[in-house]
Amino acid sequence: MGKKENTTKDWFGNWANEYDSSLGKIKRHHKLLDLVVESSLVKKNDRVLDLGCGTGLLSLKFLKNADCFIQGVDSSPEMIGIFKNKINKLNLSETIKLKLEKAERLSFNNNSFDIIASTVTLHHVKNKYPVLKKINGLLKPGGRFILGDIDMDTTGRLTDPKRLLKIVDYLKEEYALALKEGGLKAFSRMYNNGKKHILNDGEYCVSFQQWKELCQRADLKKSPSNPYRILNGLKS
């Protein structure tokens, strides 16, 4: 495992206990998750892959909308652990299965899922194309891929002040919301998270235009048979 991947794993290992009381407190994050579920057109008995499920915020919203089956995947044992506790408390172990695995691996059979949804996770993957290609294979015919992420391009020279200003300009709204809705602790966590974006420290954000091009290259077509949707995590 590369150094940056370890950084991400450690970062989420450390964040897990405070995740629901920091990012999980920001209403805009919930709006994004609601939009993802709504756009997915999830229905009864659908098989849904929640890629980068974390503490389960998205999966549980799926289940509020439809009696579907969820497969959660995440690379952080601590995030998965918190989700597992929720599943046990809610008696949902028949409906939600979890797998500790990296998005780069995804060891499922082809044509397994009606919906693959991923929120604020895939920007952590440096080499995105093979993951999208794999996602395409895992979808059943007519299946849908919904990506909820941030429309922020952090590529470029780390020492370029213009790049820095562009990113900080994008992040400042999130900082203000974290402070207002989660308090000082949540702000501090989101501020440190933002710093990782600025330094490309395990965070490799690209613009939606770049995501669109990557999806098209991976044969995820914007068509009724195999559509993808890319939803904005920051600008609501």
Binding residues for ligand SAM, per CB under 6 A?
8, 12, 52-54, 57-58, 74-76, 79, 102-104, 119-121, 124-125
Q: Are 141 and 225 in contact (CB under 8 A)?
A: yes
Q: How far is the CB of 154 from ligand SAM (least distance, A)?
A: 15
Q: How far is the CB of 105 from ligand SAM (least distance, A)?
A: 8
| Residue nearest ligand SAM by beta-carbon distance | 54
CB nearer to ligand SAM: give 12 or 145. 12
CB nearer to ligand SAM: give 165 or 199. 199
CB nearer to ligand SAM: give 103 or 206. 103
Unique residue bearing structure tokens 């299965």: 97
CB nearer to ligand SAM: give 33 or 220. 33
DSSP β-bridge partners for residue 70: 48, 96
Query: Which tokens hold the place of 2?
Result: 């590369």
CB nearer to ligand SAM: give 75 or 154. 75
Q: Interhelix angle for 27-40 vs 161-198, to 10°?
A: 80
Q: How far is the CB of 20 from ligand SAM (least distance, A)?
A: 9
Give the DSSP letter of residue 118.
Answer: E
Contacting residues for 33 by C-beta, under 8 A, at least 6 apart: 57, 58, 61, 119, 148
Unique residue bearing structure tokens 């602790």: 185
Q: How far is the CB of 223 from ligand SAM (least distance, A)?
A: 26
Sheet holding 47-51: strands in order across?
A: 96-100, 69-74, 47-51, 113-119, 139-149, 228-232
CB nearer to ligand SAM: give 71 or 76. 76
Strands 47-51 and 96-100: unpaired
Cα gap 29→59, rounded to integer Å: 14
Q: How far is the CB of 54 from ligand SAM (least distance, A)?
A: 3
Q: How far is the CB of 141 from ligand SAM (least distance, A)?
A: 25
